[in-house]
């Protein structure tokens, strides 16, 4: 899509610094065309305070460009050091008044990186989208239905000869209405899945693809040219780390658990569990070290209450949570 014709999303309904970060991130993105430039000028013209916030954001951006790898490594080391992870509300304002340029530059860099990730996410203008923690049932005009899981984006394009959908990112369960004259195909970054009278699940997370068949069969054509003519009921295939995995017998109870608001883990590494929980909550969880990340977790959790899940995991593994912001949490050993 020509970026000159892309809509200008409104800046966040937050303070001026956050709005300035938004506009600065947008100005460095591929979406910054004439319409976006005019919108930025309108925002700057609205007040002197906006202009001041913009200049400050630009200064922070310039400071991030001068960071060395050694400085970045030192910042990461300090972030993960338990002694500095004290509850922020208990620190008097006088003690946090002065921060080094590296602190501000890093904070700005993190804000901009998060904003840019949001701007460049796959399927930004998809027909159907769910936020983190949401699910949505969609009935298509041919009578087929799609249940979208958390943080999912789906586009639909029907014609007289075909039913083409694109799963940009996320997970969805498809129940397909019969129509022999119009194949029902779901396109993903790693391949196309064509229904053969079917109910099936597709999970597309980052660069990994998993297809699970619940009824009848599908045809899978991978992006590398390989093809499975019939992936049958009860079978599963996956494309992980640029490798097609052997077809296996699927654990259908576990594969459908998300549709029943359950997350099932059996002897899984903590890092795997945390990654799954992050799909359902707008909070980044950092595990303090690699050894802790490999601790094993077994349990069944409700994705609608991830705070309860984290609390249970902390108590079971003897962990302590340090909440740096309302969007960033670090898990450490309580001992």
Chain centre distance of CA 7? 22
Fold: same for 128-250 and 261-333? no
Q: Report residue 269 CA to chain centroid gap.
A: 20
Q: Which residue did the predictor score with more confidence, 300 or 28?
A: 300
Q: How far is CA 60 from the centre of its chain?
A: 26
Alpha-helical regions (H) of 47-200 = 48-64, 69-79, 101-119
Share the mean pLDDT of the chain. 81
Percent of the chain with pLDDT over 70: 74
Distances (CA, A) of 13 to 19, 48, 56, 100: 8, 18, 19, 28
CATH number of 261-333: 3.55.50.30
pLDDT value at residue 260: 96
Can you tell me the mean pLDDT for 19-36? 73
Cβ contacts of residue 183 below 8 Å, gap of 6+?
162, 163, 194, 195
Please tell me the CATH code under which domain 128-250 is placed.
2.60.120.1440
List the domain boundaries for the chain. Answer: 13-119, 128-250, 261-333
In this model, does residue 8 exceed pLDDT 80?
A: no
DSSP string, 218-237: EEEEETTS-EEEEEETTEEE
pLDDT single digits (tens) 150-183: 999 999 999 999 999 999 999 999 999 999 999 9
Report, in this order, helix, strand and coil percent for the chain, each rounded to 5: 35, 30, 30
Candidates 196, 140, 131; CA nearest to 170 is 131
pLDDT reading at 110 higher than 60: no
In this prediction, residue 69 carries a pLDDT of: 52
Q: Examine the pLDDT at 101 and tell me if it is beyond 50.
A: no
**Band of residue 28 on the pLDDT scale cut at 50, 70, 90:** low
**pLDDT reported for residue 52:** 87
- Separation between Cα atoms, residue 209 and residue 186, nearest integer Å: 12
Query: Residue 175: phi, psi to the nearest 5?
Result: -115, 115
Tell which phi-psi region holds residue 165, choosing left (phi > 0), alpha (psi between -120 and 50) or beta. Answer: beta
Report the distance separating Cα 286 and Cα 325, nearest Å: 12
Measured CA to CA in angstroms, residue 42 lies from 15, 17, 38, 90, 112 at distances of 17, 17, 6, 40, 21
The 10 Å Cβ neighbour count of residue 98 is 7
CA 268 to chain centre: 21
Q: Over the stretch 228-285, which tens digit does the pLDDT of each residue have? A: 999 999 999 999 988 999 999 999 999 999 999 999 999 999 999 999 999 999 888 8
What tokens were used for 227? 């093809």
Looking at the predicted structure, is the pLDDT value of residue 300 above 90? yes
Are 278 and 301 in contact, with CB atoms under 8 Å apart? no
d(CA 209, CA 13): 35
Instruction: Please give the model's pTM, rounded to 2 decimal places.
Output: 0.66
Q: Average the pLDDT over 192-210 and give the result.
A: 94
pLDDT given for residue 6 in this prediction: 45
Question: What stretch of H or E contains 35?
Answer: helix 34-46
Contact 224, 244 (CB under 8 A): yes
* Top-confidence residue, 29 or 232: 232
Radius of gyration from C-alpha coordinates of the chain: 23
Measured distance CA(45)–CA(42) in Å, rounded? 5
């Amino acid at each position: 899509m020509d970026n000159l014709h892309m809509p200008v999303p409104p800046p966040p309904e937050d303070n001026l610094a956050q709005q300035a970060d938004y506009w600065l991130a947008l100005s460095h993105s591929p979406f910054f065309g004439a319409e976006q430039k005019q919108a930025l000028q309108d925002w700057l013209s609205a007040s002197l305070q906006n202009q001041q916030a913009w200049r400050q954001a630009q200064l922070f951006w310039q400071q991030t460009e001068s960071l060395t790898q050694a400085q970045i490594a030192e910042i990461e080391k300090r972030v993960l050091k338990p002694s500095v992870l004290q509850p922020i509300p208990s620190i008097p304002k006088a003690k946090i008044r002065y921060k080094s340029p590296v602190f501000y530059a890093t904070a700005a860099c993190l804000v901009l990186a998060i904003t840019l990730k949001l701007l460049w996410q796959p399927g930004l203008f998809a027909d159907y989208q769910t936020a983190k923690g949401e699910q949505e049932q969609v009935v298509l005009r041919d009578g087929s239905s799609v249940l979208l899981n958390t943080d999912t984006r789906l586009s639909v394009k029907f014609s007289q000869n075909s039913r083409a959908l694109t799963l940009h990112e996320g997970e969805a369960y498809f129940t397909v209405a019969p129509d022999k004259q119009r194949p029902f195909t779901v396109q993903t970054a790693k391949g196309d899945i064509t229904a053969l009278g079917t109910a099936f699940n597709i999970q597309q997370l980052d660069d990994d693809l998993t297809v699970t068949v619940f009824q009848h069969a599908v045809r899978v054509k991978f992006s590398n040219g390989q093809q499975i003519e019939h992936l049958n009921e009860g079978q599963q295939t996956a494309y992980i780390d640029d490798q097609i995995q052997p077809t296996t017998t699927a654990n259908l109870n576990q594969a459908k658990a998300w549709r029943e608001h359950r997350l099932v883990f059996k002897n899984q590494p903590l890092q795997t569990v945390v990654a799954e929980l992050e799909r359902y909550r707008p909070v980044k969880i950092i595990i303090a070290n690699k050894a802790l990340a490999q601790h094993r977790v077994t349990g069944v959790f409700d994705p609608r209450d991830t705070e309860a899940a984290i609390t249970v995991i902390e108590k079971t593994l003897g962990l302590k949570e340090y909440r740096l912001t309302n969007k960033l949490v670090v898990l450490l050993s309580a001992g």
